[in-house]
């Protein structure tokens, strides 16, 4: 038999040294210098551990961020809201239409132009944002946003431009917001650096926002990015700067109002002097004034301002539009609100219910913030406060969209930066949140994207994890996951019974609502423990 | 010892591959769909004769069998979608796309299996770790993502077979190694370019000079294995062999592909273009050229203008050179063979595993740089063997990083749809970042203890600047692409844009080849096998 070439291997001293050096490089040895990451067991950590040395951690951050961008582009290869559905199309066309009208019309016509065809009904910053994007896009290809003539345009060019515009919009504020918010919070709670990177990965791969912004198509990440910038400033105790960001957030999308009661509570609890109060107040009014100035300089300023308010707060619409996993829609199965109350009564009822849902938590957190002055309580209160208040609005306010759950999910995921061990609960609520949007995504032909991104987000953390130490949580999660699987099986294999064509959607809303309600309750419990 | 499992890597890369299903795919998609249709609907004797569709079956028999297996798995919904119709142009929809995309993803599992085998057969802990980085870099290669999951091909599975061949070779399992390589040849004949290296290596395992030996048993085993594999592949086509061979080796194609692969001929064509312009606009150059080359340039320039124009637009076909001598297939073949033989001599004298992989890399280089009608995708044939030895020594990482960065960027023009732009660029950037860091981490520092010469330091800098120069290259090309729709002038520059990419990348690939040659022929210590090559 032939033997391998038996020339003996030359193992010089240099070689041995290399061996030793290589061994020191191995992650297991290197980890000794740092606190052991809580999320060490996750597949995401398994891949990122090779960047554990401090010198390599920047690489890991870039890798995570660019990977997130690549995934977003790949999701963008799928369908979008209202694709090919003439004559009205959907959210994609609405956003595109705003780019078209803001770039071609004088500012005083923006909120008046052809209202039945996706008239502008978002606050001014969205309009300005559309104007900037419209100018850039129009410079590349003027046919994409030609006034009136471009309606329903779905060429590969405009599609690409819109997709990349939402990507770039997300890169500007949302991603830096996530990075710095996670970093600041984690530092206070002494979360290891590797955990931070994994948490950033989890936040950036959150399927709900990816699917809505880059699949369905909207610019929620801008509003959420402005919100995160505000949170970062709140954490840094810079109330004035935080108010500027927050007013911008409100002026990008009125949904930002979901956060406003808590930021009010929080600022009130932190004020140390009347001067500070005046300064914050003046900042809010000043920022709002600056944002409205272009309209005031245009023709008919007063009529324009009134019209903005009318368009942005549409109380003429119904209590809820599509099926959504909130209190009204779910309890509507038993109590037919629309036959029992008038629209005006309903809006009052909604207002009362919303207040009832947010006042206790805000009062509690105000008390906690006043009585305990340490960093950890303060930051935990911020995260819990925003999440709970947004959930309260989602459950009880008027005119809620299924997409509004994003407002609760983003601060909820920040809980991981406080304690990465909460991964099981956070991952569960993220799954429930994404599940609640499934009917919408199915309409947009994003079923493949839904499954793939949900799989990916769960794979990263090795979830769904069902080994919570409390039996109650285990029961809730297992029950909830079983119900979700049941829904998907039913939806995929059977048509709903003829007398209840909406049955599957109602079940979806019910399951999701139950999950949100449990989470809402749990947050109250966490707040009590602060 | 740490467990280096590729399962996680596979699972994490899966979502992106699934999301890309709905994106752009090239005509290669219809090629493979047509082959499925042919193998499903026709008797085996007619497979290599069928020509309803212009994409006739032109891969060796094992690939045809593979398509036959896939065709058996087609579910009714995909069949009704037109996946199995023999038609001039495929008329298919989403179900066919999903099915074929899934076959690529599923067949790629073999690549992961092969790479895992490679990791598991490493002996030492450090070797395992190095093998893991090598395996990950190959499994996640941007070239595979671009060629297989966007463009559409089955390279993953094929390179899995090559990986099995190399893993077995490292474990000194010669018969197994020969088996896998023969199998690979019967799947796709482009790997013939690598065959000289494995042939010489196996031959010199059986024959030795110092001490003299002749292991006829091993030689017989290897020979019989190879013959058996080829018999299984070609026996059913015994009567159609001449037709099969004309399909496999069509000699009617041009020197360069539609878009120039970044090789020597790209530089050669570019030089000719430059000379034409100089000839036209610089009287001094004109005089000099006329004196040395005779007066026929003007006639060539006017008479051959049609051909020249076609070459400028970069269509497939004969490329005419106005000033430089025309390149014939014989010349390309001669050059390829010459550089291959040059690489095989040291292998014959010292047939270690590392030498073998080095020689295979050089065979890949020779075929890629000097071959006739080379596709840009063929760069994988060079990258693949090179990766297995790149982590042996820091000095090897320089040509390696040049090759991968230039080679992968040269694949960008393959995917020209705007939506996928971010995928190809973003993914490649991530890959380069991850593996530049990790390769240098697991690679031993140079064995030679001499301090770095000034020349070496300058060379390092040049390489770094070259790699960074790829960024402005991609930016310029992208800006030109974006503005193309607006300014008609830029549309005429379309070929210039492609030329820019391929010439710049060709410089990198040729540079890496020179650097690798220097190490292959100049540093004997690099090529001795250690515990874990």
In tens, the pLDDT along B313-340 reads 444 445 667 778 888 888 999 999 999 9
The whole-angstrom separation of Cα B99 and Cα A84 is: 25
- Give the model's confidence band at B430: pLDDT under 50 very low, under 70 low, under 90 confident, else very high: very high
Per-residue pLDDT tens over the stretch A311-364: 888 766 666 667 788 898 888 888 888 788 887 888 888 899 999 999 999 999
Question: What's the DSSP call for residue B207?
Answer: E
Residue A25: pLDDT above 70? no
- Among the partner-chain residues A1, A59, A66, the one whose CB lies closest to the CB of B217 is A1
pLDDT at residue B296 in the model: 63
Residue B379, preceding bond cis, omega within 30 degrees? Answer: no
Domain ranges of chain B: 264-326, 415-526
Is the omega angle on the peptide bond into residue B211 within 30 degrees of 0, that is, cis? yes
Check A9 against B430: CB less than 8 A apart: no
Q: Between chains, do A12 and B217 touch, taking CB under 8 Å as contact?
A: no
User: 3-state SS string over B38-82?
Assistant: HHHHCCHHHCCCCCCCCCCCCCCHHHHHHHHHHHHCCCHHHHHCC
**B427 to chain A, minimum CA–CA distance in Å?**
7
Which residue has 């142009």 as its token pair? B89
Average pLDDT over residues B515-523: 93
The secondary structure element, H or E, covering residue B462 is helix B454-484
Please give the structure tokens belonging to residue A366. Answer: 């105000």
**Residue located via tokens 């951690």:** A57
What is the predicted pLDDT for the residue at B491? 72
Mean pLDDT computed over every residue of chain B: 88
Q: Tell me if A130 is assigned to some domain.
A: no
In this complex, which of B15, B418, B525 lies closest to A156 when CB atoms are compared?
Answer: B418
Q: How far is CA B111 from the centre of its chain?
A: 16
Structure token pair of residue A353: 């219910």
Interval A290-318 mean pLDDT: 86
Nearest to A95 by CA among A124, A125, A120, A132: A120
pLDDT at A317 (0 to 100): 65
Q: With pLDDT > 70 as the criterion, what percentage of chain B qualifies?
A: 91
In 3D space, the residue among B183, B515, B139, B204 whose CA is nearest the CA of residue B353 turns out to be: B204
Report DSSP state, residue A5.
P
Please check whether residue B11 touches A, CB under 8 A: yes
Q: Say if the Cβ atoms of B206 and A459 lie within 8 Å.
A: no
CA A135 to chain CA mean position, Å: 27
From chain B, the residues in CB contact with A453 under 8 A are 15
A19 with B417: Cβ contact below 8 A: no
Query: Which distant-in-sequence residues (6+ apart) come within 8 Å of A257 by Cβ?
Result: A250, A393
For residue B86, what pLDDT band results from cuts at 50, 70 and 90?
very high
Question: Is residue A470 in a domain?
Answer: yes
**B10 touching chain A per CB within 8 A:** no
Least confident range of A13-22, B60-69, B286-295, B464-473: A13-22
**Which structural domain, as residue segments, surrounds residue A430?**
68-78+164-270+314-529
Mean pLDDT of A475-490: 95
Nearest to A102 by CA among A157, A145, A50, A62: A145
Residues 6+ apart with CB under 8 A from A370: A269
Q: How far apart are the CA of A65 and the nearest CA of chain B, in angstroms?
A: 9
Minimal CA–CA distance to A312: which of A82, A115, A105, A114?
Answer: A115
The pLDDT, as a whole number, for residue A19 is: 40
pLDDT in tens, B375-400: 889 999 999 999 999 988 888 999 99
Number of domains making up chain A: 1
CA atoms within 13 A on the CB side of A503: 11
DSSP code per residue over A270-324: H--SHHHHHHHHHHHHHHHHHHHHHHHHSSSHHHHHHHHHHHHS-TTS-SBSS--
Per-residue pLDDT, B103: 97
Whether A2 has its CB under 8 Å from any CB of chain B: the answer is yes
- Going by pLDDT thresholds of 50, 70 and 90, the confidence category of residue A1 is very low
- What φ, ψ does residue A85 adopt, rounded to 5°? -100, 80
CB within 8 A of A319, min separation 6: which ones?
A328, A337, A338, A343, A346, A347, A350, A398, A399
Residue position matching structure tokens 């909820």: A412
**Residue B250 clears pLDDT 90, i.e. is over it:** no
> Which chain B residue is nearest to residue A75, measuring alpha carbons?
B19
* pLDDT for the residue B213: 84
Q: Does A13 touch chain B (CB under 8 A)?
A: no
CB of A406 within 8 A of CB of A212? yes
The DSSP code for A400 is B
> Does residue A465 lie within any of the structural domains?
yes
Q: Is residue A182 part of a domain?
A: yes
The owner of tokens 């245009």 is A298
A159 contacts in B (CB within 8 Å)?
A: 419
Residues of B in contact with A23 (CB under 8 A): 125-126
% of residues, chain B, pLDDT over 90: 64
Distance from CA of A454 to the nearest CA of B (A): 9
Residue B411 has pLDDT above 80, yes or no: yes
Chain B, nearest residue to A76 by Cα = B419
Question: Do the Cβ atoms of B12 and A459 come within 8 Å?
Answer: yes
B141 and B101 in contact (C-beta within 8 Å)?
no
Both tokens of A433, joined, read: 């949140």
Q: Would strands B207-209 and B212-214 be described as parallel, antiparallel, or unpaired? A: antiparallel
Write B237-240 long-range contacts (CB < 8 A, 24+).
B237/B44, B237/B45, B237/B47, B237/B48, B237/B61, B239/B45, B240/B45, B240/B48, B240/B49
- Write down the pTM of the prediction: 0.91
A141 chain-B contacts, CB cut-off 8 A? 485-486
- Number of residue pairs across A and B with CB atoms under 8 Å? 140
pLDDT of residue B281: 82
pLDDT at residue number A8: 39
Alpha-carbon separation of residue B379 from B195, B384, B493 (angstroms): 16, 9, 26
Indicate the range of A145-159, A347-361, B409-423, B432-446 predicted with least confidence.
B432-446
Q: Interface pTM (ipTM) of the complex?
A: 0.91
SS3 sequence, B323-344?
CCCCCCHHHHHHHHHHHHHHHH
Question: What letter does residue B176 receive in the DSSP assignment?
Answer: H
Decide if A14 and B447 are in contact by the 8 Å CB cutoff.
yes
State whether A74 and B20 contact (CB < 8 Å): yes
**Residue B249 DSSP label:** -
B10, B97, B213, B419: which to substitute to probe chain A, counting the most A Cβ within 10 Å? B419
Letter string b/e over residues A300-331, b meaning 16 or more CB atoms within 10 A of that residue's CB: eeeebeebbeebbeeeeeebbeebbbbbbbbe
Q: Which of A4, A7, A159 sits opposite B528 (nearest CB)?
A: A7
């Amino acid at each position: 038999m032939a033997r391998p070439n038996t020339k003996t291997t030359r193992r010089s001293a240099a070689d041995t040294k290399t061996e030793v050096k290589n061994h020191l490089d191995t992650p297991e040895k290197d980890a000794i210098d740092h606190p052991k990451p809580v999320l060490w067991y996750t597949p995401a950590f398994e891949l990122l551990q090779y960047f554990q040395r401090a010198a390599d951690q920047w690489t890991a951050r870039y890798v995570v961020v660019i990977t997130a961008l690549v995934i977003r582009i790949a999701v963008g290869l799928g369908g979008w809201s209202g694709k090919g559905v003439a004559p009205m199309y959907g959210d994609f066309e609405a956003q595109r239409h705003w780019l078209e009208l803001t770039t071609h019309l004088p500012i005083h016509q923006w909120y008046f132009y052809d209202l039945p065809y996706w008239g502008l009904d978002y606050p001014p910053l969205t309009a300005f944002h559309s104007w900037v994007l419209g100018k850039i896009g129009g410079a590349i290809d003027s046919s994409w946003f030609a006034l009136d003539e471009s309606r329903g345009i779905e060429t590969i060019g405009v599609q690409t431009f819109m997709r990349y515009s939402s990507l770039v919009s997300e890169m500007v504020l949302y991603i830096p917001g996530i990075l710095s918010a996670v970093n600041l919070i984690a530092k206070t709670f002494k979360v290891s650096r590797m955990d931070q990177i994994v948490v950033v990965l989890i936040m950036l791969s959150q399927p709900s926002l990816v699917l809505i912004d880059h699949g369905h198509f909207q610019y929620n990440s801008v509003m959420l990015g402005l919100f995160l910038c505000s949170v970062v400033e709140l954490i840094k105790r810079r109330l004035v700067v935080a108010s500027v960001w927050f007013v911008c957030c409100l002026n990008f999308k009125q949904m930002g109002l979901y956060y406003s009661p808590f930021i009010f509570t929080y600022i009130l609890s932190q004020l140390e002097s009347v001067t500070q109060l005046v300064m914050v107040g003046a900042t809010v009014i000043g920022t709002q004034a600056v944002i409205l100035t272009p309209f005031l300089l245009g023709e008919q300023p007063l009529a324009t301002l009134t019209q903005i308010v009318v368009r942005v707060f549409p109380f003429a619409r119904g209590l809820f539009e599509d099926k959504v996993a909130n209190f009204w829609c779910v309890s509507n199965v038993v109590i037919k609100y629309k036959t029992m109350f008038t629209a005006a009564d309903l809006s009052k009822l909604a207002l009362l219910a919303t207040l009832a849902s947010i006042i206790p938590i805000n009062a509690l957190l105000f008390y906690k913030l006043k009585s305990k002055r340490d960093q950890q309580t303060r930051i935990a209160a911020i995260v819990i406060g925003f999440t709970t208040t947004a959930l309260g609005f989602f459950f009880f306010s008027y005119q809620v969209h299924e997409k509004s759950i994003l407002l609760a999910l983003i601060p909820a995921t920040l809980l991981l930066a406080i304690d990465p061990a909460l991964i099981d609960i956070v991952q569960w609520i993220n799954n429930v949140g994404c599940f609640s949007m499934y009917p919408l995504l199915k309409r947009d032909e994003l079923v493949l994207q839904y499954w793939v991104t949900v799989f990916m987000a769960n794979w990263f953390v090795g979830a769904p994890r069902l080994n919570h130490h409390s039996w109650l949580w285990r029961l809730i999660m297992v029950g909830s996951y079983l119900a979700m699987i049941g829904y998907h099986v039913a939806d995929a294999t059977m048509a709903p019974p003829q007398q209840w064509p909406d049955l599957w959607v109602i079940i979806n809303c019910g399951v999701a609502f139950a999950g949100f309600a449990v989470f809402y309750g749990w947050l109250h419990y966490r707040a009590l423990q602060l | 010892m740490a467990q280096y499992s590729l399962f996680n890597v596979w699972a994490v890369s899966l979502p992106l591959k699934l999301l890309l299903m709905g994106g752009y795919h090239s005509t290669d998609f219809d090629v493979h769909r047509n082959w499925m249709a042919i193998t499903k609907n026709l008797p085996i004797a007619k497979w290599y004769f069928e020509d309803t569709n212009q994409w006739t079956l032109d891969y060796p028999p094992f690939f045809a069998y593979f398509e036959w297996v896939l065709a058996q798995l087609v579910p009714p919904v995909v069949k009704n979608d037109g996946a199995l119709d023999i038609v001039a142009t495929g008329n298919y929809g989403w179900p066919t796309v999903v099915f074929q995309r899934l076959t690529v993803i599923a067949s790629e599992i073999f690549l992961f299996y092969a790479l895992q085998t490679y990791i598991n057969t490493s002996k030492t802990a450090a070797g395992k770790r190095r093998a893991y980085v090598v395996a990950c870099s190959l499994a996640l290669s941007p070239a595979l993502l671009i060629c297989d999951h966007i463009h559409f091909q089955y390279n993953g599975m094929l390179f899995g077979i090559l990986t099995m061949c190399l893993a077995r070779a490292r474990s000194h399992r010669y018969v197994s190694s020969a088996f896998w390589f023969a199998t690979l040849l019967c799947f796709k004949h482009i790997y013939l370019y690598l065959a000289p290296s494995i042939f010489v290596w196996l031959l010199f395992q059986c024959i030795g000079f110092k001490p003299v030996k002749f292991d006829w048993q091993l030689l017989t085993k290897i020979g019989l294995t190879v013959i058996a594999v080829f018999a299984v592949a070609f026996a059913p086509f015994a009567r159609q062999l001449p037709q099969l061979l004309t399909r496999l080796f069509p000699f009617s194609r041009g020197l360069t592909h539609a878009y120039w692969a970044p090789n020597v001929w790209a530089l050669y064509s570019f030089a000719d273009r430059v000379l034409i312009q100089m000839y036209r606009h610089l009287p001094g150059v004109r005089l000099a050229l006329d004196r040395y080359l005779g007066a026929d340039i003007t006639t060539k320039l006017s008479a051959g203008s049609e051909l020249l124009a076609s070459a400028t637009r970069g269509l497939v076909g004969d490329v005419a050179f106005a000033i430089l001598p025309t390149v014939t297939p014989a010349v390309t073949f001669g050059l390829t063979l010459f550089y291959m033989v040059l690489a095989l001599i040291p292998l014959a004298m010292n047939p270690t595993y590392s030498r073998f992989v080095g020689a295979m890399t050089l065979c890949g280089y020779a075929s890629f740089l000097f071959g006739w009608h080379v596709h840009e995708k063929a760069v994988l044939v060079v990258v693949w063997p090179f990766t297995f030895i790149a982590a042996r020594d820091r000095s090897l990482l320089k040509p390696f990083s040049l090759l991968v960065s230039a080679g992968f960027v040269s694949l960008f023009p393959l995917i020209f749809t705007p939506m996928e732009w971010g995928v190809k660029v973003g993914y490649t950037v991530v890959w380069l970042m991850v593996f530049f860091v990790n390769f240098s981490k697991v690679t031993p520092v140079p064995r030679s203890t001499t301090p770095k010469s000034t020349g070496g330091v300058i060379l390092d800098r040049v390489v770094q600047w070259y790699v960074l120069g790829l960024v402005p290259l991609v930016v310029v090309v992208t800006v030109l692409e974006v503005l193309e729709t607006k300014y008609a002038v830029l549309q005429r520059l379309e070929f210039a844009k492609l030329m820019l990419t391929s010439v710049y990348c060709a410089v990198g690939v040729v540079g890496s080849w020179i650097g690798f040659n220097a190490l292959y022929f100049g540093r004997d210590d690099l090529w001795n096998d250690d515990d874990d090559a």
